[in-house]
Amino acid sequence: MSRLVTFANRKGGCGKTTTAVNVAHALAINGYNVLFIDVDPQAHSTMVFGFQSHLLEVSLFDVLTKSIEIEKAILQTRIDKLFLIPSARNLTVFEMEYSSQGDSEIILRTLVSQIENNYDFIIFDTPPTLNLLLLSTLIATEQVFIPVQLHFLAMEGLAEMVNVISKIRDSYNPRLYLAGIIPTFYDKNRFDLNLNNEIKQIFGKTKILNYISFNYALHESPAYGQSIFEYAPRSKGAYDYMKLANLIEIT
């Protein structure tokens, strides 16, 4: 069975997509067969993996609307052992047209169940809003990792996300659980010790995974359509994400 892993946060700018992309690449480097499903209409993950969403003939939208079989939407990326179901802007159309239809929230889970045995990990990148796409992903997945910046405003988003996970688990998906919290943009000179301690008190020390340091290469690599392991494999960012992936392997 695949490990079904989602990176999610209702607050944007927390490094969610950067984390999802680089963890997926790190797992592929470690020899796992990884399928990445880009559920965010912004399609930033799709672009980092080298695809222009507006040039693609098929995307996740076609899968969710059942225009094609899910297997036909899977692309081989330039990275060995890493495959992609790309996103596109028309995912917003799915959101608008299907939100009011019964059982639309379980479409993704049903489709993923057809292929999950083919991969070691299935990684989902989600939109930073509580909508049908995020709901569908949380119903389809098992483990949720929340990237979060350690500042006051981020705490509100973290609390909201944990509440959403709890509600989805109780109503739709008993397999779903919070697997870890990933502090991002870590700067030892600006580190908020009080917030870090508060998170540990609420969720326990084991839920805090290793910090992702502030690193210019992590900001630059998406502009070149590359993961950190392609753009700057010897950088602190690459080191941090490989360490994180190694933790996720055993979480």
Asked if the model's pLDDT at residue 205 lies above 90, the reply is: no
In this prediction, residue 59 carries a pLDDT of 97
pLDDT at residue 77 is higher than 80: yes
The per-residue pLDDT of the chain, averaged, comes to 93
- CA–centroid distance for 45 within its chain: 9
CATH number for the domain formed by residue range(s) 3-250: 3.40.50.300
Structure confidence by residue, pLDDT tens digits, 45-66 = 999 999 998 899 999 999 999 9
56, burial (CB in 10 Å: exposed 0-12, middle 13-18, buried 19+): middle
The average pLDDT across 10-26 equals 93
What's the pLDDT tens digit per position in 111-127? 999 999 999 999 999 99
Tell how strand 75-76 and strand 82-85 pair up: antiparallel
Residue 73 neighbours by CB under 8 Å, 6+ apart? 58, 59, 60, 62, 63, 85, 86
Cα angle: 17, vertex 202, 127; to 5 degrees: 20
Is 149 or 133 the better-scoring residue by pLDDT? 133
208: left (phi over 0), alpha (psi -120 to 50) or beta: beta
Query: What tokens were used for 221?
Result: 């690599």
Q: Report d(CA 84, CA 66) in Å as an integer.
A: 18
102: its two tokens = 């019964």
pLDDT of residue 189: 64
What is the pLDDT, as a whole number, of residue 191?
65
Percent of the chain beyond pLDDT 90? 76
